Amino acid sequence: MSPVVRIALEEDIGSGDVTTRACVPESQQARGRFLAREPLVVAGLSLLAELYDSVTLHKRDGERCFDGETIAEVGGTARALLEHERVALNFLQRLSGVATLARQFAEAVEGTGCRVLDTRKTTPGLRALEKAAAAAGGVTNHRMGLFDAVLIKNNHIAAAGGVRNAIERARASGFPIEIEVRTRAELREALDAGAAHLLLDNLTPAEAAEWVREIAGRARVELSGGINLATVRAYAETGADFVSAGAITHSARAMDISFRLELVP
């Protein structure tokens, strides 16, 4: 069992589910169905195998579900099904929310040649799961953490003593390098220093289009900063290679999924 699932179960069950133990015979067998109660893109299904003895999947991560469709069926003792119900729903509802919102972002930029990236703005402890859900929804995972790519931001530039210093020092790391630039002067300094991936933050779509024209293909371009479903296509149409949206993980709502239990004679 993965640590995150173990922690979730310990948090919810604690010393024992007093309601289920009081009401349900220990030997009683049951089966249950997870049902979509609204249209959604499902994610997190692999976790069910960690929670239940018997699992039959009717959907795969990344597939659409319609209202009333069965997502998965599980079996085991009635006590186990009831004890694990809320943890299973919490994971499925949260991760399906991320996947559903990710799909909406991905569809919003179709045909532009621009890819949507997720960010590190994830729920503490759930990053791997939320990024997997984002990918299932159709967006591209950005770096997983501080350890797998260099992203030089404004405070790094200040601490390093400037754009060029930051880039030149970062090259020794051997990791891919991306640098945030906030002014046209920083943009030109970064390009002169050989920056291959630029992050342009908090520009309007019109401003971003101007900067992209000046860059003229000399570096890959990512746009970020308050990008949402209403604005993402306008940013994607600027000619940028990527747009990143923290909302995919930090603002996804839990989808409506229910659990229905039936006794097995």
Which residues does residue 32 pair with via DSSP β-bridges, in sequence order? 74, 261
Catalytic residue among 64, 153, 169, 188: 153
* Helix and strand counts by DSSP (H, E) for the chain: 11, 12
Quick one: CA dihedral 259, 122, 176, 236, positive or negative?
A: positive
For residues 97 and 83, the answer to whether their CB atoms sit within 8 Å is: no
Active-site residue identified among 83, 180, 186, 241: 180
> Which of the residues 201, 210, 237, 256 is marked catalytic?
201
Supply φ then ψ for residue 222, to 5 degrees: -120, 135
**Could you confirm whether 59 is annotated as catalytic?**
no
Annotated active-site residue 10? The verdict is no
- Out of 33, 37, 64, 121, the active site residue is 121
Q: Is 11 a catalytic residue?
A: no
Q: Are residues 209 and 238 in contact, defined by beta-carbon separation less than 8 angstroms?
A: yes
153 is catalytic: yes
Q: Name the β-bridge partners of 64.
A: 41
Looking at 37, 64, 86, 115, which residue is catalytic?
86
201 a catalytic residue? yes
Provide the annotated active-site residues: 86, 121, 153, 180, 201
